[in-house]
Structure 1
């Protein structure tokens, strides 16, 4: 099993597992690989090192002789952690809401009027329609969810 570090044109970094290099190349050529954050299919692989468990880790910041703290690769780590947290949040939202698709505004109004039982929904509507819902006192929150958050990963 090959575990590769992959990235898209927007710089999102994610991991891919493949049976072989040929499997990776085949999926890449058939546009089967997709960024879980932005759905970009222009994917490249980065150099990745095998992970070895050799014991305790050194701290992320090393103190110098003068006592100051010098960051190592904190920005890259923070970006990867933020991407992972965003994807986890998006998956939680997708799992706990009903997708009503293009009927979002209609369903939100029906719940607001008491015509149907309130429930957590998500869907699509235009920005103008979202403003009208807000003007009617209906709380809405624009939240773009990547397609990968709506599916179970294998």
Structure 2
């Protein structure tokens, strides 16, 4: 299963040159970038771990790509994504977000069905990755 979250999620993985082009576009729009990582890509897990601080002062795509590659080296078996923020609305609004690294094997999700009162049925999404402890979810 391939996790589909963020922009470009249905496309093949982007190369470093394509990622650099997207970073350049974001910086050209005045959107600072940040890098995040996780081993729990559940759709409701919007709080990934942040790699350093948002890069408000960087204007060169090479600096953002450097931080991105450092995160990739530190967490080779995790999901890593790049975010770009648009502050025009007076709050931190994500203008662009996409996954730049995935684990070699993505186990996916299962649906858990529960019958409740009055013949109601509830369905929950359970990621197979959560069957293992944090930090050991992907080989």
TM range (shorter): under 0.3
Q: What TM-score results when the alignment is normalised by the length of structure 1?
A: 0.22
Q: What TM-score results when the alignment is normalised by the length of structure 2?
A: 0.23
Q: Which has the higher contact order (CA 8 A, sep 6+)?
A: 2
More strand by share: 2
Work out which of the two has the higher radius of gyration on C-alpha atoms and give 1 or 2.
Answer: 1
More helix by share: 1
